[in-house]
Amino acid sequence: MFELHPTLEKDSIPVTETDGLLIRLINDARFPWLLIVPKVDGATELHDLTDHEYAAVMAMARSLGKVLKHAFDADKINTAAIGNMVPQLHIHVVARTRGDDAWPGPVWGAGTMVPMSDDEAARRIGLVRSALG
Amino acid sequence: MFELHPTLEKDSIPVTETDGLLIRLINDARFPWLLIVPKVDGATELHDLTDHEYAAVMAMARSLGKVLKHAFDADKINTAAIGNMVPQLHIHVVARTRGDDAWPGPVWGAGTMVPMSDDEAARRIGLVRSALG
């Protein structure tokens, strides 16, 4: 029985759910930052997924990268599966802009998350949902 | 005409080349750390790749993660396409161990690379090559 890890639940907002994947928005005003969480109980590594599950995750990672790049006029997309702190498998897709709060370093471990206003969260979610179609 | 970015050339050692992908070992004794560089001139984002190229990269990322996990008895694999500093598309696959020099933070931007001895480089390359078969 799959349950979202409480840290991911706390740090992010649901965007959509499709093909066995939860898509969530990290609640951080500093960066447009999405998570893909495959609903696979116990998965921690990409190689824990079946071929079908892996293909779904990777197709979504690429789509979300393209969506974020255009919707947020990003200079670079950062895509990563890290999971040193939260073992439940989750894939980050982050829109980066030259001069953003962590540039050119990675966002993971960079400073403190800055919660978004409800309006900004709704705006970001709307952009992603409409781009995904 | 594809040419490896000079920073990637300087920081890493060739392991093998297959299916349009360069596999290289980052010269850092602190972490078993591989790079996948698709030989696609001008690619900077995952979504710049064709379906075929993307499938090759993603299959290799997963294989190398599994190889590193077992060969280096890793606690976690970190897989990422970042490229904020080196625009040429490259995918990191890093074996992480609880208590390593950057744990639980990411390796990117963590301290200074520690060059390996020739023996250690040969050992790591041998492990990866033989696991890839």
Per-residue confidence (pLDDT) for residue A1, from 0 to 100: 87
Mutate to test the interface with A, among B54, B58, B85 (most CBs of A within 10 A): B58
Per-residue confidence (pLDDT) for residue B47, from 0 to 100: 96
**Is CATH 2.30.300.10 the classification given to domain A6-132?**
no
Q: How far apart are the first and last CA of chain B?
A: 29
Helix (H) or strand (E) holding B16, with range, is strand B12-18
Neighbours of B33 (CB within 10 A): 23
Per-residue confidence (pLDDT) for residue A50, from 0 to 100: 97
Per-residue confidence (pLDDT) for residue B50, from 0 to 100: 97
Tokens of A50: 């079946």
pLDDT tens digit sequence for A4-56 = 999 999 999 999 999 899 999 999 999 999 999 999 999 999 999 999 999 99
Cβ contact A75:A97 at 8 Å: yes
Tokens of A111: 């400073």
pLDDT tens digit sequence for B25-71 = 999 999 999 999 999 999 999 999 999 999 999 999 999 999 999 99
Q: What interface predicted TM-score (ipTM) does this complex get?
A: 0.96
User: What does the pLDDT average to over A97-105?
Assistant: 96
Closest to B105 (Cα-Cα) out of A82, A109, A106:
A109
Nearest CA in chain B to A49: B62
More confident residue, A1 or A43: A43
From chain A, the residues in CB contact with B65 under 8 A are 45-47
The ranges assigned to domains in chain A are: 6-132
Q: Do B65 and A85 touch (CB under 8 A)?
A: no
User: What does the pLDDT average to over A98-106?
Assistant: 96
Per-residue confidence (pLDDT) for residue B1, from 0 to 100: 87
Residue A25 to residue A71: CA distance in whole angstroms: 14
Global confidence as pTM: 0.97
Closest chain A C-alpha to B33 CA, distance in angstroms: 13
Q: Has residue B89 got a pLDDT over 90?
A: yes
For residue B87, cis peptide bond before it (omega within 30 degrees of 0): no
Per-residue confidence (pLDDT) for residue B106, from 0 to 100: 96
Residue B67 to residue B72: CA distance in whole angstroms: 8
Angle between helices A118-132 and A51-71 (to 10 degrees): 120
Mapped onto helix, strand or coil, the DSSP state of residue A112 is coil
Helix (H) or strand (E) holding A26, with range, is strand A21-26
Per-residue confidence (pLDDT) for residue B133, from 0 to 100: 82
Task: Enumerate chain B positions whose Cβ falls within 8 A of a Cβ in A.
Answer: 44-47, 54, 58, 61-63, 65-66, 69, 76-85, 87, 96, 103-106, 108-109
Q: How far apart are the first and last CA of chain A?
A: 29
Alpha helices in chain B (DSSP H): 6-11, 51-71, 118-132
pLDDT tens digit sequence for A53-83 = 999 999 999 999 999 999 999 999 999 999 9
